[in-house]
Amino acid sequence: MAVLSALAGFSSRGALAALPSCPAGGPNHLQSAHFTVAYNGDSTQGVAYVTETQAGDVLAAAERAYASYVAMGYPTPLVNGSGKTGFSIIDLSPFKLAALYCPGDVDFDSNDVGKDDTAFNVGFAVFAQIELGLTGSVPFSDDWLIQSAASWASWKALGYPAASVSDLGPFEMSLDCWDANGTQACSKTGYENLAESRWPFYEYLSERFGQTFMLEVFADANAAASGMTGLQTALAAHGTTVAAEYAAYTTKLMAGGWTASALNVVSPPTSGSVIHAGAATGDTAPQTFGVDHLATRYIEIDRGDGDGSHPCYAATLTIHVQIPSGVTSQPTFYWNGSGGSPVPLTVSGSAATATVPWDTCLWESKGLLSLPNTSLAANGTNFVVWTHIDVDTTTPATATPPPAPTSTYGQVIDTGSATAVPDISVVGPQLLRLSATDTQLVLVVQSSAEGSVAVTLGSLSLGTVSLRPGSNQLRFTLPKAQLARLRTSSATNVLTLTPISADGNTTGTAVTRNVAFTPAKKAAAKHKKAAVKHKKTSRSK
């Protein structure tokens, strides 16, 4: 589904010298209110053959995208001499392309018709035609902006399906990385290489400044003949900067809170070795992380030393980050357990620090530290991270959801009587994520006393298990008959845990969590394709 934006002059380069014409046309024709499709309906003509129904499906997808973009407040796409936007369905597999673009027309790969990502590719093509009419002076080297925004618009029009978050980032790649030569300079994965996996930044801007904010960006980019200058100018009009918004965006990737709900079930991948803060007062060894401009690395910081067999105590943790010279950055720490909230580090010169409540217990939850390089041009820079822990061996602690920063640690365990209902809490985030291959649900439940807990997932009973005071690791096998439905459902499933007294006669207040399955990724060969867009020939190269 990846799309490579190229200017008209790009086809003169050796690797792409034999590109087909745009539009390529076709012997069969079909049209809708705003689009036409030219295609080959002759099955004897090889792989470019598609049926009239398939051609109609392309038209239908284009009309849905058209209606979505107009409803969002965007102008209509460019048209050709017929007064409509044209699609020519041809075989682009020799070029490893999904589409070729010229003003008012799209050459669309016949091998992408009838696939799971057809609607995304068609929606991308329609928005690309809108962008062609708005960004005539933006150079090819800045097509990272055009590509990412078209990907955002298409996923938005489709309602952010699970496939939209199957490949994001990678966030250590610069926001404006662009492969001008089609040589996979940004990533070995075509979809990432051509900027489409970076669409969450434009969703962030949309949620922050409104869904038509990109119209401001396009207008300013066109006036300045520069994508980055256009982005800077549009943000300056709202009293902010690229650096500030990029830093806030990297925090939202950790902490969630997206209107696009699909983004709330993903967590950014971490770099380097996990930092175990330790079980005794002291420092961790420094780790160094390279971060390019407008890129971010996420570091995992865990409580304890990885051993859950020893007693644990309350503590405080101080996080230290050495910011490279000449780099602007706002590191932020986030504990992804219940009650966690982002903690921006205090920056003084090139040093950034934050002190947070901590303990030495073994947790299922984890801490994430963002290291954004918000500079526009500083590359090959090295951030250094280490932590210091002060342990209070007079205050026992348990792996329970962390209190507010001003609260003390520790929990009184009351074994109670047989008629007392235990107080329970679930260790971990409010949203529990399971992969498409998981067959078990594993929970860590803290209980104040002996008893049991009845567990249901939606309307499905997972059973009742005994509880002992303290930490309990519970495992539930998901029935095969229900598992397929749960995996394919886009809805979030509610997990309900109801505590029961030891004598089994009294129930207490239920605790709930949400459970979501992450769909399996599509095969890269089918899902990540490059496409080339031809822009107005009036542009200089």
Q: How confident is the model at residue 537 (pLDDT cuts 50, 70, 90)?
A: very low
HSE-up of residue 215 (Cα within 13 Å, Cβ side): 10
Question: Bigger pLDDT: 523 or 511?
Answer: 511
CB 471 within 8 A of CB 444: yes
Question: Is it true that the peptide bond before 401 is cis, omega within 30 degrees of 0?
Answer: no
pLDDT at residue 525, as a whole number: 35
Tell me the domains of the chain and their CATH numbers.
Answer: 4-240+523-533 (1.10.390), 275-396 (2.60.120.380), 424-518 (2.60.40.10)
Q: How confident is the model at residue 486 (pLDDT cuts 50, 70, 90)?
A: low
- Which residue type, as a one-letter code, is found at position 151? S
- Which residues, other chains included, contact 56 with Cβ-Cβ below 8 Å and sequence gap of 6+? 30, 37
Q: Which residue is it, tokens 């938005």?
A: 156
Q: How confident is the model at residue 422 (pLDDT cuts 50, 70, 90)?
A: confident
Pairing of strands 424-426, 440-447: antiparallel
- Secondary structure of residue 29 in the 3-state scheme: strand
Distance CA 76, CA 27 (A): 27
pLDDT at residue 242, as a whole number: 98
pLDDT at residue 340, as a whole number: 85
Pairing of strands 343-344, 332-335: antiparallel
Distance CA 217, CA 158 (A): 23
Mean pLDDT of 149-175: 96
Nearest alpha-carbon partner for 429 in 334, 358, 509: 334
In order of 25, 375, 443, 444, the CA distances from 475 in angstroms are: 59, 46, 6, 9
Confidence check: pLDDT of 371 > 70: yes
In terms of C-beta density within 10 A (0-12 exposed, 13-18 middle, 19 or more buried), how is residue 440 classed?
exposed
Question: Bigger pLDDT: 245 or 497?
Answer: 245
**Which tokens sit at 508?**
């207490």
Question: Is it true that the peptide bond before 170 is cis, omega within 30 degrees of 0?
Answer: yes
Phi-psi domain of 531 (left: phi exceeds 0; alpha: psi -120 through 50; beta: other): beta
pLDDT at residue 489, as a whole number: 56
Poorest-pLDDT segment among 314-318, 369-373, 462-466: 462-466
- Which residue type, as a one-letter code, is found at position 180? A
Question: Bigger pLDDT: 408 or 309?
Answer: 309
CB 107 within 8 A of CB 99: yes
Per-range mean pLDDT, top range of 98-102, 265-269, 290-294? 290-294
Distance CA 539, CA 100 (A): 17
In terms of C-beta density within 10 A (0-12 exposed, 13-18 middle, 19 or more buried), how is residue 407 classed?
exposed
Phi-psi domain of 470 (left: phi exceeds 0; alpha: psi -120 through 50; beta: other): left
Distance CA 111, CA 47 (A): 7
Q: How confident is the model at residue 38 (pLDDT cuts 50, 70, 90)?
A: very high
- Which residues, other chains included, contact 220 with Cβ-Cβ below 8 Å and sequence gap of 6+? 229, 230, 231, 233, 234
Mean pLDDT of 466-473: 74
Poorest-pLDDT segment among 408-412, 445-449, 499-503: 408-412
pLDDT at residue 457, as a whole number: 84
- Which residue type, as a one-letter code, is found at position 363? W
Poorest-pLDDT segment among 218-222, 369-373, 435-439, 506-510: 435-439
How many CB atoms lie under 10 A from the CB of residue 118?
Answer: 19
Per-range mean pLDDT, top range of 121-125, 471-475, 532-536? 121-125
Mean pLDDT of 332-356: 94
In order of 12, 155, 263, 484, 488, the CA distances from 163 in angstroms are: 35, 9, 11, 17, 12
Q: In what order do the strands lie in the sheet with 440-447?
A: 424-426, 440-447, 470-477
Phi-psi domain of 360 (left: phi exceeds 0; alpha: psi -120 through 50; beta: other): alpha
- Secondary structure of residue 451 in the 3-state scheme: strand
Confidence check: pLDDT of 76 > 90: yes
pLDDT in tens, 252-286: 999 999 999 999 989 999 999 999 999 999 999 99
CA dihedral 112, 118, 120, 126 (to 10 degrees): 80
